[in-house]
Structure formats: structure tokens, C-alpha cells
A and B are shown apart, each in its own frame.
Chain A
């Protein structure tokens, strides 16, 4: 059985953490300092592309990591796999919440400018909110089972189904419906319209935020592994 102390390679963790912190600092500087084309309605808010969109890319990466560890649980893995699945889902959901909130804020001053509307059940936003509720049910399900090994298995089955809904709710369905969000019917997606200078910041931002996910996720795995060792229960 694997010793808890080696659940995480602490030296690698520190190196990645320091690189991520420096990388994202440079990204923030570039996000504000580089000149971008001025577009009506969007104006300076186009810079939100560097922050809002990577939240969803990061959540997708987190869902993938979480589901992979849930599969490990069902293939006879240790409680460590369950810890990793749970913490990836936790941090991923936090990024998803930040994506939803920043999206509501951005839409208020672009789509809904000059109105009192904050939320209009735009399909893209509604599906994203539904996605977060599906993950909310994952955490509720976990809290309903007391025995750690049984909880790991039940939660793993649900988590794999939850992960399967993600591509449909975030990519497939919103593109079939009329939405104000880019990438919907009659509304060009990122690839066709984004200026080259913005790609220069956007792709590093995606990498940086996924790196930040890895740091926060690994930090929580270390904490949960220590808790498991002390209390025989990894729930965090």
C-alpha cells in the first residue's frame, strides 16, 4: 500500500507552483498592457477573454482529471484515487462558479447594457448553471455515505456519468440553440474572429489557469491525504 507521505511529489509541486505564479503574473501584465482592436459594445471588456474563457477550459480539464481518477477507483484503486477525484471536482467547480459569475457580470454590460436584466436564461448560461448543479449533487451524494470505501465507489459511478454530461451541456447543446454567446447559431466562435494579438495572451492564460488548477488541486490532495492518515477518513 502506498504511504500517504508520497501521495504528492512535494518537490515537483513547489517547482510547478512557482512557475505558475510567475507565469500568471506575466499573463496579467500582458492582458492589460498589449493594445487590442477596439470593437463596438465590447471595447476594453474584450480583455475579459483572457480571464473568463480560461475558467471554462480549466473546469473541463478538472472534470477530465476527476473522471480519470473515478475510473481508477472502480478499477480497484486506493482511497487516494477517490481523494484525487473529489478534490479535482471541488477545484473544478470553483473555477466553473467563477466562470459563471464573470459571465453574468460581462453580459450585464454588453448583451444587457441599458436594461435591468442580469439573467435572461440564455441557453449557454443556463446549461453552465445546470452543469454546476450536477456537480453540486456529486458533493451531496458523497455526504450521504459514511463508509469511506463504499462512498468512493458510489461517488465514482455518479462522477463518471456527471463527466459525460459536460461536453453536451457546455459545447453541443448551446451551439444548437439561439444564444447571444459567441459560438452559438449565427454568432461566430473564437476561432474566426479573434485578433492575433489576443491569441498571444489567451493561450498562455489557458495554460496558466490550468496550472493554477493543478496547484490548488494538489494542495488539497496533500491536505486530504494527511487527514486520511490521521482520522482514517479522507473527506475534506
Chain B
């Protein structure tokens, strides 16, 4: 291991410190000044509002839409299966 000069080490430690009352995970993070390279886009302004709950809404909607598509596709396979069964097995063979 290379030993860093004392002042370089101190700078590195200082860069990790954040002002009192904030943590590194806060949305407003002074330690990260300069990281947002542009003003928030329209999408970001919507999604970051209200504790970012809209991000969760979009996740839930994507899952729900995925499940719905799955359900509809299963129904189409079921329609095809019922047609095949009706064609190949006559009604009077029915166990019901």
C-alpha cells in the first residue's frame, strides 16, 4: 500500500463529509454539487415530485400491463384449444 501525503488524505476525508442534517442518500446532496449536468427535464420534474411516488406508480402499472397481456395471450391459446377439442372430439363422447 502506498501512503498518501497527509494533506491529500485530509482532502479525501473532507470530500466524504456532508453538512449536518443531511446524508449521502438525500435527494439534495451538497457533496454532489455539480453532478446534475442539466436542469431537470419535464419527466424528472413529474417523477421526482411527492417523494418519488410516481416512480412506484409507473412500476406497478408496467407490471399490471404485463400481467394483462399475459392473461389475454393465455385466453387466445385457450380459444384455439377449445376449437381443436370441439373439432376432434364429438359431443356425445362427453363425460359431462
A residues within 8 Å of B by Cβ? 1-5, 7, 10, 14, 17, 21, 24-25, 28-29, 32-33, 44, 78-80, 148, 215-216, 219, 222-223, 225-226, 228-230, 232
| B51, chain A: closest CB distance, angstroms | 7
Which of these, B56, B72, B86, B96, contacts A228 with CB under 8 Å? B96
B 7-48 to A, binary, CB cutoff 8 A, 1 in contact else 0: 000000000000000000000000000000000000000000
User: Mind listing 16 A-B residue pairs with CB under 8 Å?
Assistant: A1-B94, A1-B96, A3-B91, A10-B79, A10-B82, A17-B72, A17-B75, A21-B68, A21-B71, A24-B64, A29-B57, A32-B54, A222-B82, A223-B81, A229-B94, A229-B95
Give CA–CA (A1, B94) in the complex, Å: 8
Contacts of A14 in B (CB 8 A): 75
Contacts of A219 in B (CB 8 A): 71, 74-75, 78
Number of residue pairs across A and B with beta carbons under 8 Å?
72
B96 touches A79 (CB 8 A): yes
Give CA–CA (A105, B45) in the complex, Å: 30
Contacts A2-B96, A4-B96 known; A44 to B51 CB distance under 8 Å?
yes
Give CA–CA (A178, B43) in the complex, Å: 47
Contacts of A7 in B (CB 8 A): 96
Give CA–CA (A232, B75) in the complex, Å: 22
B95 touches A44 (CB 8 A): no
Which of these, A24, A32, A215, A226, contacts B85 with CB under 8 Å? A226
Contacts of A5 in B (CB 8 A): 82, 85-86, 91
Contacts of A226 in B (CB 8 A): 78, 81-82, 85
Which of these, A3, A17, A28, A148, contacts B94 with CB under 8 Å? A3
Give CA–CA (A184, B2) in the complex, Å: 64
Contacts of A79 in B (CB 8 A): 95-96
Known contacts A79-B95, A229-B94; 12 additional CB pairs below 8 A are A3-B91, A4-B94, A5-B91, A7-B96, A17-B75, A219-B71, A222-B78, A228-B96, A229-B85, A229-B89, A229-B96, A232-B95
- The secondary structure that dominates the B interface is helix
Give CA–CA (A33, B49) in the complex, Å: 12
Give CA–CA (A32, B64) in the complex, Å: 14
Contacts of A2 in B (CB 8 A): 96
Nearest 9 A/B pairs, CB to CB:
A32-B57, A21-B68, A226-B85, A3-B91, A2-B96, A1-B96, A232-B95, A78-B96, A5-B86
Contacts A17-B75, A226-B85 known; A32 to B60 CB distance under 8 Å?
yes
Contacts of B68 in A (CB 8 A): 21, 25
Contacts A79-B95, A219-B75 known; A33 to B85 CB distance under 8 Å?
no
